[in-house]
Amino acid sequence: MTGIDLDGRVAIVTGAGGGLGRSHALALARRGAKVVVNDVGVDGPSADAVVAEIAAEGGEAVANHASVADPKGAARMVEQALKTFGRVDVVVNNAGILRDRSFAKLSEQEFREVLEVHLLGAYHVTAAAWPHLKAQGYGRIVNTTSPAGLFGNFGQANYAAAKMGLVGFTRTLAIEGRKSGIHVNVVAPLAASRMTETILPPEALAKLDPGHVSPLVVYLSSEACTHTGGIFTAGGGYVGRVAVVQGPGVVLREVTPEALADHWRAVTDVIGGVEFTGAAEQGDWVLARV
């Protein structure tokens, strides 16, 4: 295949002052994209430093310090891309925070704070960019989920809820954006970052350079990629697709708790499961069987 490039494209990468976001921003710039590097810089990483790195390599970038949790800040982020580079083509929703705590000790405020950055943050930036992507008939959106969201993880009920919410957000936007040439996918990275350095052991972190994830983000951000609505995971050189499947199940003449208990093995078996492109297809599949 010919080389993948993003020449002439403009990308917004949130949470890009360090870790995965920095890696994504650099990788996109190296492929020709002009980049709005967003990071509030609360924990030290600097969007300005990443912009300087991109400039030193001959790329074009501009720093943005807005919080994705602020809808006005998110709107200004998109406005900055338009004012500086004349367009916006790619949105990489990467910004995030952690408020890890077991559910028994988790406060409502800690729950809300995580949802506001991860889930509402992605909404705010995407909502600001969406009209422009639709008007030009082209766009690429890459959201960021997590293995914790897909599979669960102790002490991360807030984080997992936000990250699984982003999967539903992605799947629906993929359906709504298809006719307008907007492709939307979501990535579950496993990488060394600000958010994993206190969770994963040093030997694991050593294998999980963020640079192993960014090529996937670049591909999903490119015109060459026509996949949409996909859930992908990447880390340490591994890349794969994750799917939500529905098992064959069982059709009962009479549904009672006792009948369910008797057929529970068939109810829970997902061997030979089916993957659907949307809720309408799933509903049609069920109705055809009953």
At residue 106, the pLDDT reads 98
Q: Which of 123, 159, 219, 238 is catalytic?
A: 159
What is the residue range of 106's domain? 10-241
Residue 2 lies in a domain: no
At residue 50, the pLDDT reads 97
Map tokens 């093995």 to a residue: 265
Q: What is the mean pLDDT of residues 171-192?
A: 95
pLDDT, one tens digit per residue, over 239-285 is: 999 999 999 999 999 999 999 999 999 999 999 999 999 999 999 99
At residue 194, the pLDDT reads 60
Q: Are 142 and 217 in contact (CB under 8 A)?
A: yes
Q: What is the mean pLDDT of residues 16-39?
A: 97
Residue 274 lies in a domain: yes
* Number of domains, the chain: 2
CA distance 86 to 270: 48
Residue 1 lies in a domain: no
At residue 207, the pLDDT reads 76
* pTM given for the model: 0.94
At residue 186, the pLDDT reads 98
At residue 192, the pLDDT reads 65
At residue 203, the pLDDT reads 66
Co-location of 66 and 133 in the same domain: yes
At residue 196, the pLDDT reads 61
Question: SS3 of 270, please?
Answer: coil
At residue 45, the pLDDT reads 62
Co-location of 278 and 213 in the same domain: no
Which CATH number does the domain housing residue 253 bear?
Answer: 1.10.287.4290
Which CATH number does the domain housing residue 185 bear?
Answer: 3.40.50.720
Co-location of 78 and 170 in the same domain: yes
At residue 199, the pLDDT reads 63
159 is catalytic: yes
Ramachandran region, residue 272 (left: φ > 0; alpha: ψ -120 to 50; beta: rest): left
Q: Are 32 and 9 in contact (CB under 8 A)?
A: yes
At residue 202, the pLDDT reads 72
51 contacts: CB under 8 Å, gap ≥ 6:
37, 61, 62, 63
Co-location of 253 and 141 in the same domain: no
Is 64's pLDDT higher than 60?
yes
The per-residue pLDDT of the chain, averaged, comes to 94
Q: What is the mean pLDDT of residues 6-28?
A: 97
Residue 115 lies in a domain: yes
pLDDT band of residue 2 (cuts 50, 70, 90) is confident
Range 253-280 burial, b when 16+ CB lie within 10 A, else e: eeeeeeeeeeeeeeeeeeeeeeebeeee
CA distance 44 to 39: 10
pLDDT, one tens digit per residue, over 189-248 is: 988 666 565 566 676 666 778 999 999 999 999 999 999 999 999 999 999 999 999 999
